[in-house]
């Protein structure tokens, strides 16, 4: 009887795994802005809805919006210049740029669909508009690259396989661990792709892309000597990012 039950569990686990594999294959599509194949489970309209719904709560977590209208106008001007001079203007996304009041967290991030944020803590450390363009260009790259939507779809896939592993043979934990490592690696690739796109956007808008290297130095100094090792982080080490940025600059010098 135990053998029969084990066989039934195994068949159920295989069926669940097969369902998620087939589902993932059906969700593969080419990002027409980057040319990369991705697993995507939502439409651009859904990404926009998620971003708009999440934006107020995200701002609240960082002390709300910064009250200085001149600073906000600068962020808007630089962000819109990057959009209007790049392929980003051809996307369906509704780009909006927000300067957050947070004086402590040195950070910038993007929500699906075009909601882009930079904290005052980071903004105040930037020395010129080119560096601000580097930060915003990187975040625009995340939106255009559909990285959040891709991570959601990939997470659903690995969670499904983990469930199948648990049902079919008590290997759900192993599958989950493999999935986590895969998502971490993919996260680092997203950062490098956004750096590359950011360089491209900067150059097309007339900004100096070398200033993005100085932004990396600012982030490196902010992280300090106790920063998380690259293999445990979704972000590549700043030194690796600098080398990739230099390569992107040379690449686009020849093609733009």
pLDDT tens for each residue of 12-47: 555 555 555 555 666 688 998 899 999 887 899 999
Q: Which of 33-47, 101-115, 174-188 has the highest mean pLDDT?
A: 101-115
The tokens describing 103, both together, are 């004086």
- Residue 97 has phi, psi (to 5 degrees) of -115, 135
Q: Is the pLDDT of residue 179 over 50?
A: no
Pure H helices in 101-237? 120-123, 129-144, 147-169, 172-204, 211-223
Q: Please state the domain extents for the chain.
A: 2-255
Alpha-carbon span 123 to 131, nearest angstrom: 9
For residue range 61-94, list pLDDT tens digits in order: 999 999 999 999 999 999 999 999 999 999 999 9
């Amino acid at each position: 009887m135990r053998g029969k039950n084990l066989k039934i569990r195994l068949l159920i686990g295989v069926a669940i795994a097969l369902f998620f594999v087939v589902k993932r294959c059906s969700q593969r599509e080419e990002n027409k802005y980057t040319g990369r194949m991705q697993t995507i489970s939502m439409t651009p309209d859904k990404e926009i809805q998620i971003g708009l719904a999440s934006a107020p709560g995200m701002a609240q977590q960082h002390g709300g919006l910064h009250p200085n209208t001149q600073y906000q106008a600068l962020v808007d001007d630089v962000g819109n210049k990057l959009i209007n001079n790049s392929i980003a203007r051809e996307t369906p996304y509704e780009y909006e740029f927000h300067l957050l009041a947070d004086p402590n967290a040195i950070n910038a991030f993007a929500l699906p669909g075009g909601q882009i944020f930079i904290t005052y803590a980071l903004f105040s450390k930037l020395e010129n508009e080119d560096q601000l363009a580097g930060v915003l260009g990187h975040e625009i790259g995340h939106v255009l690259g559909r990285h959040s939507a891709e991570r959601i779809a990939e997470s659903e896939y690995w969670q499904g396989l983990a469930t199948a592993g648990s049902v079919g043979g008590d290997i759900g934990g192993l599958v989950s661990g493999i999935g986590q490592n895969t998502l971490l690696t993919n996260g680092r690739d997203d950062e490098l792709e956004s750096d590359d796109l950011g360089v491209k956007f900067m150059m097309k808008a007339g900004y100096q892309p070398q200033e993005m290297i100085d932004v990396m130095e600012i982030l490196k100094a902010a992280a300090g000597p106790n920063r998380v090792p690259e293999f445990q982080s979704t972000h590549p080490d700043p030194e690796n990012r600098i080398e990739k940025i230099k390569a992107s600059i040379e690449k686009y010098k020849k093609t733009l």
